[in-house]
A and B are shown apart, each in its own frame.
Chain A
Amino acid sequence: MKDRTNQEWLDDLREPDRDEALADLRAFLVRGLGYSLASRSDVDGVLIEDFAQDALLKILDNLDTFRGESRFTTWAQKIAVRVAFTELRRHRWRDLSLEAITEPHGIDFVPDFLVDPEAPPDQQTVQRHFLESLQRLIATELTDKQRQALVAVRIQGIPIEEVARRMDTNRNALYKLLHDARQRLKSRMEAEGLSPEDVLAAFGS
């Protein structure tokens, strides 16, 4: 591949005759994705070519947003990685409905607290207090959307963008929503006498 400066990449990709630059960049992205996805058994060479092609179009559409704060190739690879993971997550969770996130599964509630019996008594007290507050405040202080997102992302481990798509929002907005939920829980807990330091110490953080 021809060695290019950032400016040369931009110039070459903006030329009418840009086939060589496009081929170079595509080959670069394919190689990079090979390393990025090396540990995944659900990805083959054909899929990587598809990701690189999709990324290439996105990169061309967004050339004006490149600010030159890194090498052009790193910036381009970043977009390719995002394209690839977005597709892989979409595929992995394609059968999941919003209802599956929120519908009951018929599991009985066990009114019991997870308290480490090995912990010192004062830490067990804080753990118990934290759990009791968490259970109650999630039910009373969060909005329906916050609860739904918290369960799906933090507990069920569904990727944030997949939850966002089903809740008709986007990844960034959902992160902010979850952040607001955490802020709310934290401040309510602090008001109830649970200090962050004590809770972190009680859970061994």
Chain B
Amino acid sequence: MKWKWETLRIWMRRVMPRRSGDGMDAELLKQMARGIMTTRPDEIGCDECFEQMDRFVEMKLAGADPAEAMPLVQDHLARCTSCREEFEALLAAVEAMD
């Protein structure tokens, strides 16, 4: 597929401040800056995150510190909206049923 310049313009428009200004676009830009500049070479993907998510949830509910024990899972959850959404949903279920 051919990349279209217009799409990039739309993209840039999104990161521009809105004239009325509710801060959303500034927040998006900040997230982009953080996402890019904190990129690390050893990030794990969604599959590996999913594999370890059950253990991560149980550690968290046991009062341990899974972020320290499994830093790459923590890092992925901070970056990936879909995995984070599933993590929070699983956490809610396991916590309620314990």
Contact = CB atoms under 8 A, between A and B. Distances in A.
Verify that A and B bind, or say they do not.
yes
Interface of A: 28, 31-33, 35-38, 69-71, 73-75, 77-78, 81-82, 84-85, 89, 102-110, 112-114, 116, 130-131, 134-135, 138-139, 144, 147-148, 151, 154-155, 157, 159-161, 171-173, 175-176, 179, 182-183, 185-186, 189, 196, 199-200, 202-205
Interface of B: 1-17, 25-26, 28-39, 41, 43, 45-47, 50, 52-55, 57-58, 80-82, 85-86, 89-90, 92-97
A36 B35 CA distance: 27
B43 to A, nearest CB: 5
Contacts of B9: 107-109
Contacts of B7: 102-104, 147, 151
A144 B2 contact: yes
A114 B58 contact: no
Given A151-B7, A203-B30, A77 B94 contact: yes
A74 B33 contact: no
Given A36-B93, A148-B3, A176-B45, A204 B30 contact: yes
Contacts, number: 168
B39 A183 contact: yes
Contacts of B58: 70-71, 74
Task: Give the most central of B6, B28, B36, B90: most A CB within 10 Å.
Answer: B36
Contacts of B28: 155
A114 B16 contact: yes
Contact of A114 (B29, B45, B80): B29
The 6 closest A-B pairs by CB, nearest first: A104-B6, A109-B9, A32-B93, A36-B89, A70-B54, A196-B37
B46 A69 contact: no
Contacts of B52: 69
A83 to B, nearest CB: 10
A35 B88 CA distance: 11
Given A107-B13, A155-B11, A161-B82, A85 B89 contact: yes
A182 B14 CA distance: 19
Given A105-B10, A155-B11, A205 B33 contact: yes
